[in-house]
A and B are shown apart, each in its own frame.
Chain A
Amino acid sequence: MVNFILNRILQSAIVMFVVALISFFLFNFVGDPISNMVGQETTVHDMNALRERLGLNDSVIVQFGRFILDALNGNFGISYRLQRPVDELISERMPATLELVFVSAVIAMVLGVAGGLFTGLKRDHWLSKIILTSSLVGVSLPTFIIGILLIYIFAVKFNWLPSFGRGEVVDLKGGWSTGLLTVSGWKAIILPSITLALYQTTLILRIIRSEMLEVMRTDFIKFARARGLKSRDINYGHALKNTLIPVITVAGLQIGSLIAFSIITETVFQWPGMGSLFIQAVQFADVPVMSAYLVLVAFFFVIINLIVDLLYFVVDPRLRSEIKN
């Protein structure tokens, strides 16, 4: 057990190391960091002094070591575009993104699991067919189009909900600003969170349905029916539990993608989160912000994967005894 966890943590550390390496090369070798930092009229002498001061004349290995140490301390340098420390920019923006992702994840999981179970168990029900058809439309709707449509309907046509921003924000201790404590904050998060959740909902729904259909065909379900077990016990006990492993995998991946997809939603709704910070960084070649975002997102992914691995362990007894031996 302990070995298993250590093994997984080691793997995660390797992934993080590789991402840090990529991020480092991005930072140091894509474009010239010095010419990005200084103005037009800076002299060559000043530029060299700055280069020396930033340690850019040291060997690559020394620089990479320093980059890792800095990253561990949350120091990712100074944004070329905004001329402010990157860690400050990101920690300002993180609460907005995480709240959006959290609300969307809840919506996607609840609707996706419920819809997937229903369509998997009652595959010939008329409602299943409607849900399934609309889920295919859902998969075909790019996130930004959903956003545009929702804005057009609810903000432009009917003027019920705001089309941009987070509404009124309350500052909590520890620098976390939340929009979930005010009415305007909740109003503001409705459209973006639905936009972000819709695609993931349809994916989760379709995966759960096909897993459910797969499990319902297995011998042990047939045998359970042959023993006269109640269909409630078969469906929600045996079948559902056996779909959990793929569902956990997908749910983990999808929560990860929510963070990435929030880039689009944040752009459409001008949501002041990390995603819109990142997309501006890409447009303006603001490398320090890009590399910091990369490291941070990779970190989230690694954590989610670690949790997913531990959940497997809880669900599957085969895995447990494999590790025991």
Chain B
Amino acid sequence: MRKEQTLTWWGRFVDHDVTYSFLHSPVTVIASIVTVLMIIAAFCAPVLTSYTPFVPGSLNLLDAFMPPAWEPGGVSEHFLGTDGQGRDILAAIMYGTQVSLTVGLLSVLLSIAIGIPLGIIAGYNGGWVDTAIMRIADIQLTIPPILIALMIDGVTRTSLSSEVHELVAIPVLIVSIGLASWPQYARITRSGAMVERRKDYIAAAQLIQTPTALILLRHIFPNVVGPTLIVATIGVAVAIIIEATLSFLGVGVPPTTPSLGTLIRIGNNFLFSGEWWITLFPAFTLVVLVLSVNLIGDWLRDTFNPKLR
């Protein structure tokens, strides 16, 4: 029955339990395809669409408030309709998704870059270092990230002039979401590092006087990074939601480079007057994007963490 030896790497890949579980979870397969398509649509927007919805001179007010192509009055050039300034909704969504994805991914990267080292140091050293780091993390965990991000954003808004603020708005947003979410990564990494620390191979490494930095980097890090990355997948979804929420509240990215949240906020004003497509299509895109990422994250957690199965 054992035939692994005779298979090529491709055969092993297809035969692997993870691949099997992936292929037998149609929801995960669909979610992955949708995510990949959305990433392509977002980052290849300049190639895929000729509209430049956020270049001020390129809009024509005569095109304003066009409904989607299948509604009376809709035209096929603007498949999902246009907004109050004649922007093509589909193109706006593509560019908006690009901003949302960028902020989501980079802010999670920042959280990980802070959380993993702190978690490893806390878990490996224990003692007061651990207590100090985890106390701070605990306190921060009790305050929702969205509030922290709001505060950081509010402070920068107050201390910078509005022109400067507009320029740095996206980096500030990334930093505020990133700073607001590191504790959960630190927690997971720490518990992993505490388990690893007690293992014999670490004792052996200490015995032959391997420098601590090397132990942390070469031995602890590779063993604790997995679970953290799985949680990070869901973290991307959360970060996208936070960004959209902040932008919706009008304290996120500026309207000149709108994200999905900004588009929803702009469109929300027209909801009562019947131009539902301006807000509902970006909203739908946002939900599908977040749901897909969540589905992938859920599957990853179930597959690689049998404890939770």
Binding site for B on A (CB under 8 A): 15, 18, 26, 30-31, 136-137, 139-145, 148-149, 151-152, 156, 210, 213-214, 253, 256-257, 260-261, 263-264, 267, 278-279, 281-283, 285, 287, 290, 294, 297-298, 301, 305
Q: Are A152 and B271 in contact (CB under 8 A)?
A: yes
Q: Which of A145, A267, A287, A298 contacts B264 (CB 8 A)?
A: A145
Contact partners of B142 in chain A: CB under 8 A: 253, 256, 301, 305
Q: Which residue of B lies closest to A11 (CB)?
A: B135
Q: Are A145 and B286 in contact (CB under 8 A)?
A: yes
- Of the four ranges (under 10, 10 to 19, 20 to 34, 35 or more), the interface on chain B belongs to 35 or more
Q: How far is the CA of A31 from the CA of B250 in the complex (A)?
A: 20
Q: Are A140 and B290 in contact (CB under 8 A)?
A: yes
Q: For chain A, what secondary structure do more than half of its interface residues adopt (helix, strand, loop), or is it mixed? A: helix
Segment among B66-74, B119-127, B241-249 that sits at the interface with chain A: B241-249
Known: A214-B308, A261-B144. 20 other contacts (CB 8 A): A30-B155, A30-B158, A136-B291, A140-B290, A141-B290, A142-B248, A144-B245, A144-B264, A148-B271, A149-B283, A214-B307, A256-B144, A260-B143, A260-B146, A263-B146, A264-B245, A278-B150, A279-B150, A285-B154, A305-B142
Q: How far is the CA of A214 from the CA of B307 in the complex (A)?
A: 8
Q: Give, as a whole number of angstroms, the nearest-CB distance from B15 to chain A.
A: 28
Task: Check B153 for interface membership: any CB of A closer than 8 A.
Answer: yes
Q: Give, as a whole number of angstroms, the nearest-CB distance from A254 to chain B.
A: 9
Q: Which of B144, B159, B290, B308 contacts A210 (CB 8 A)?
A: B308
Q: Mark B208-228, 1 if CB is under 8 A from A, else 0.
A: 000000000000000000000
Task: Check B237 for interface membership: any CB of A closer than 8 A.
Answer: yes
Q: Which of B154, B248, B295 contacts A290 (CB 8 A)?
A: B154
Q: Give, as a whole number of angstroms, the nearest-CB distance from A79 to chain B.
A: 14
Interface residue ranges of B256-302 to A (CB < 8 Å): 264, 268, 271-272, 276, 279-280, 283, 286-287, 290-291, 294-295, 298
Q: Are A260 and B287 in contact (CB under 8 A)?
A: no
Contact partners of B250 in chain A: CB under 8 A: 279, 283
Q: Give, as a whole number of angstroms, the nearest-CB distance from A301 to chain B.
A: 5
On whether A142 and B241 interact (CB within 8 A), knowing A136-B298, A294-B151, A298-B143, the answer reads yes
Q: Are B153 and A282 in contact (CB under 8 A)?
A: yes
Q: Which residue of B lies closest to A308 (CB)?
A: B142
Q: How far is the CA of A148 from the CA of B283 in the complex (A)?
A: 9
Contact partners of A213 in chain B: CB under 8 A: 308
Q: How far is the CA of A26 from the CA of B151 in the complex (A)?
A: 10
Q: Which of B144, B280, B290, B307 contacts A142 (CB 8 A)?
A: B290
Q: Mark B148-163, 1 if CB is under 8 A from A, else 0.
A: 0011011101110000
Q: Are B248 and A141 in contact (CB under 8 A)?
A: no
Q: How far is the CA of A145 from the CA of B284 in the complex (A)?
A: 9
Q: Give, as a whole number of angstroms, the nearest-CB distance from B133 to chain A.
A: 15
